[in-house]
């Protein structure tokens, strides 16, 4: 089992130990209780190196009890066994997004989708349609407008929006999240007038008389944004159910939530108890002193509610993002020579929380994008581990986007996991060269350089920042090309992953990064029966066809949670 290629992360022995000898029992001829479910006549990529490709598997209760040939599986068929003949289709383990935002997706699904709008008139029409369904006074949020796609690239002004939607406060976030466009009702509620000053790090767009015209940039977004009420618990529960349905429809059976509040974690647990979750949800607790104190006292908890919720990790932030030049760099931005970015947390804070985490048995996962951000995190982890050693800590760096060559081997040496999102590479490649210049790009999204040091790379999307579909990251991992197959041959193609590694990155390696590899991540006897049926073989079709793949069905614990509509 090549889960990892180096001693620091070696877990092969524990993985083998987790697999009961179902096959041995059946070939010894001992009577076997009948399976509840048999999936057969399929190309099943198990992500289990001991049997990587099989044609059938059997499930009893919510766990896999057998993998192998269709003939052997048939011997486990009883009167009540459900048999799924996959008709030669491809089956893979249920996919897990190792870095995403559960509540963020829920909120985004409730907002008006403005992606792809071609004019401000179209934006207003979509908001108006939403307003017609909501009582007056209810806030309407939206996301995804981009005035660069409207012909006239100047920022919009609020007059037409305010006239069309006078009775609902409206806040529409720009596609990159760095500006919002609001109506008069929203500005009135927020008390924003010509007298309101620009906050530091922010800008209010104004007319000739100084009156706000409805667009608020960067830190000025909070002037109105802070007035948007949080969803009630019932609204959030309903929105989370929509988010779960979206994930299931795309072949995701689990996710790692990169920073959740205590209130949301309690809601997730309540949903799991009521069997409303149907997810393998690995929670990272957001960096909040009270929440951390509480959960460190409670201690790490795993596989709660029959393998639905894990609370044993913390999310910290080292630096900002590349698009807004907030990622912390060792040398200045190539397109901004006086700027080396921002550290969002003091290095001493990361070290201190890491020490507390080690003492309490929690994993620490820190956001780091720039090469300085990454070095700061590795240094802080180093100090914490020296002070409070723990063998199997599995600390992570979230994103690990830009690495100095000297830091690439440190992940394997320290047993730190780079948790990366392949779709960020294909989203950023158009402009990142301007920010960094050519030399630093050799350490950018450097998957192969990292893999060759012996680490594993759990993959993810960072939704709702990127699209939910995990095959976008699978495709980016193997091609380093966008959906239009640009650039030819791939962007820094020497860093591509093999398909086998790309599949592991969204199944077994994601599970390992969440201490879940004994329960999920591969189609292996003893693990939960989480799997996905696809309409084509993503391990064999040309890379340019991968994004046309349809998920036919998604199964969690042997239960079908999604079936594609017939067509």
Q: How far is the CB of 435 from Zn ion (least distance, A)?
A: 19
Rg (CA), the chain: 25
**For Zn ion, the closer CB: 130 or 424:** 424
**Structural contact between residues 158 and 213, judged by C-beta atoms closer than 8 angstroms:** yes
**For Zn ion, the closer CB: 463 or 562:** 463
Compute the half-sphere exposure of residue 440: CA atoms within 13 Å on the CB side of its CA.
Answer: 21
CB burial string 341-357: b at 16+ within 10 A, e below: bbbbbeeebbbebbbbb
**For Zn ion, the closer CB: 279 or 546:** 279
d(CA 86, CA 71): 15
d(CA 397, CA 404): 14
d(CA 146, CA 215): 12
**For Zn ion, the closer CB: 407 or 462:** 462
d(CA 203, CA 217): 5
Which phi and psi angles does 536 have, rounded to 5°? -150, 165
Compute the half-sphere exposure of residue 261: CA atoms within 13 Å on the CB side of its CA.
Answer: 8
d(CA 522, CA 19): 11
Q: How far is the CB of 262 from Zn ion (least distance, A)?
A: 19
Q: How far is the CB of 37 from Zn ion (least distance, A)?
A: 35
Coil/strand/helix, residue 317: strand
**For Zn ion, the closer CB: 89 or 256:** 256
- CA–centroid distance for 433 within its chain: 25
**For Zn ion, the closer CB: 39 or 258:** 258
Q: How far is the CB of 254 from Zn ion (least distance, A)?
A: 16
d(CA 312, CA 65): 28
Nearest to 521, CA basis, from 505, 534, 533, 536: 505
Print the SS3 string covering 187-252: HHHHCCCCCCCCCCCEEEEECCCCCEEEEEEECCHHHHHCCCCCCCHHHHHHHHHHHHHHHHHCCE
The continuous run of DSSP H or E covering 423 comes out as helix 422-428
The continuous run of DSSP H or E covering 253 comes out as strand 252-260
Classify strands 309-317 and 363-368 as parallel, antiparallel or unpaired.
parallel
First-to-final CA distance of the chain? 39
Nearest to 93, CA basis, from 518, 421, 529: 529
**For Zn ion, the closer CB: 462 or 501:** 462
The continuous run of DSSP H or E covering 471 comes out as helix 470-479
d(CA 101, CA 66): 34
**For Zn ion, the closer CB: 371 or 462:** 462
Q: How far is the CB of 462 from Zn ion (least distance, A)?
A: 4
DSSP 339-387: ----BSS-HHHHHHHHHHHHHHT-EEEEEE-SHHHHHHHHHHHHHHHHH
**For Zn ion, the closer CB: 177 or 409:** 177
Q: How far is the CB of 463 from Zn ion (least distance, A)?
A: 9
Q: How far is the CB of 448 from Zn ion (least distance, A)?
A: 23
**For Zn ion, the closer CB: 258 or 510:** 258
What residues line the site for Zn ion (CB under 5 A)?
A: 258, 462
Nearest to 160, CA basis, from 176, 149, 172, 151: 172
d(CA 516, CA 530): 13
Q: How far is the CB of 86 from Zn ion (least distance, A)?
A: 35
**For Zn ion, the closer CB: 73 or 103:** 103
Q: How far is the CB of 50 from Zn ion (least distance, A)?
A: 34
Q: How far is the CB of 310 from Zn ion (least distance, A)?
A: 18
- Strand partners of residue 90: 43, 534
Q: How far is the CB of 101 from Zn ion (least distance, A)?
A: 6
**For Zn ion, the closer CB: 393 or 399:** 399
| Burial degree of 565 (CB within 10 A; 0-12, 13-18, 19+) | exposed
Q: How far is the CB of 420 from Zn ion (least distance, A)?
A: 12
**For Zn ion, the closer CB: 317 or 411:** 317
d(CA 243, CA 222): 26
**For Zn ion, the closer CB: 58 or 258:** 258
Q: How far is the CB of 165 from Zn ion (least distance, A)?
A: 31
Q: How far is the CB of 425 from Zn ion (least distance, A)?
A: 15
**For Zn ion, the closer CB: 258 or 476:** 258
- Strand partners of residue 333: 336
Q: How far is the CB of 322 from Zn ion (least distance, A)?
A: 13
Q: Rounded to 5 degrees, what angle do the CA atoms 376, 352, 321 make? A: 40
């Amino acid at each position: 089992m090549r889960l990892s290629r180096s001693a620091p992360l070696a877990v092969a022995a524990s993985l083998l130990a987790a697999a009961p000898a179902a096959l041995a029992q059946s070939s010894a001829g001992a009577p076997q209780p009948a399976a509840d479910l048999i999936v057969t006549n399929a190309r099943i990529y198990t992500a289990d190196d001991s049997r990587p490709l099989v044609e059938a598997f059997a499930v009893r209760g919510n766990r896999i009890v057998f993998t192998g040939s269709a003939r052997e599986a048939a011997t486990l068929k009883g009167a009540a066994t459900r048999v799924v003949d996959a008709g030669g289709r491809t089956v893979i383990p249920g996919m897990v997004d190792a870095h995403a935002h559960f509540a963020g997706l829920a909120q985004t699904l409730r907002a008006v989708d403005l992606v792809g709008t071609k004019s401000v008139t179209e934006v207003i029409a979509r908001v108006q349609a939403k307003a017609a369904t909501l009582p007056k006074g209810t806030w309407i949020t939206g996301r995804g407008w981009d005035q660069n796609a409207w012909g006239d690239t100047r920022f919009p002004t609020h007059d037409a929006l305010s006239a069309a939607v006078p009775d609902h406060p409206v806040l529409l976030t720009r596609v990159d999240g760095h500006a919002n466009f609001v109506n008069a009702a929203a500005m009135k509620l927020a008390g924003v007038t010509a007298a309101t000053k620009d906050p530091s790090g922010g800008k209010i767009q104004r007319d000739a008389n100084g009156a706000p015209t409805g667009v608020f940039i960067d830190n000025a977004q909070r002037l109105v944004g802070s007035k948007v009420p949080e969803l009630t618990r019932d609204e959030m529960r309903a929105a989370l159910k929509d988010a779960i349905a979206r994930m299931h429809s795309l072949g995701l059976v689990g996710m790692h939530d990169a920073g959740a509040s205590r209130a949301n974690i309690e809601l997730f647990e309540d949903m799991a108890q009521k069997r409303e979750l149907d997810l393998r949800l690995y929670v990272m607790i957001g960096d909040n002193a009270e929440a951390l104190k509480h959960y460190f006292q409670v201690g790490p908890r795993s596989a709660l509610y029959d393998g639905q919720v894990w609370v044993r990790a913390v999310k910290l932030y080292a630096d900002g993002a590349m698009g807004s030049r907030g990622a912390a760099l060792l040398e200045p931005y190539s397109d901004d020579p006086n700027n080396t970015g921002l550290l969002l947390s003091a290095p001493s804070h990361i070290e201190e929380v890491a020490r507390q985490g080690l003492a309490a048995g929690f994993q620490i996962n820190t956001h780091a994008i720039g090469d300085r951000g990454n070095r700061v995190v590795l240094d802080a982890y180093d100090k914490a581990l020296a002070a409070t050693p723990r063998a199997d800590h599995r600390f992570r760096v979230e994103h690990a986007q830009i690495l100095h060559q000297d830091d690439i081997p440190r992940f394997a040496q320290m047993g730190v996991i780079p948790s990366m999102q392949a779709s960020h590479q294909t989203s950023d490649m158009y402009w990142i060269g301007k920010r960094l210049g050519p030399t630093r790009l050799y350490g950018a999204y450097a998957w192969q350089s990292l893999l060759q040091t012996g680490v594993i790379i759990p993959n993810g999307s960072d939704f709702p920042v990127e699209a939910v579909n995990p095959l976008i990251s699978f495709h980016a991992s193997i091609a380093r090309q966008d959906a239009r197959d640009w650039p030819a041959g791939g962007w820094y193609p020497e860093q591509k992953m093999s398909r086998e590694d790309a599949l592991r990155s969204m199944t077994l390696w994601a599970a390992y990064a969440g201490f879940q590899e004994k329960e999920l991540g591969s189609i292996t006897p003893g693990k939960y029966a989480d799997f996905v049926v696809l309409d084509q073989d993503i391990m064999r079709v040309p890379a340019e066809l991968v994004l046309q793949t349809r998920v036919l069905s998604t199964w969690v614990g042997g239960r079908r949670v999604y079936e594609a509509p017939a067509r």
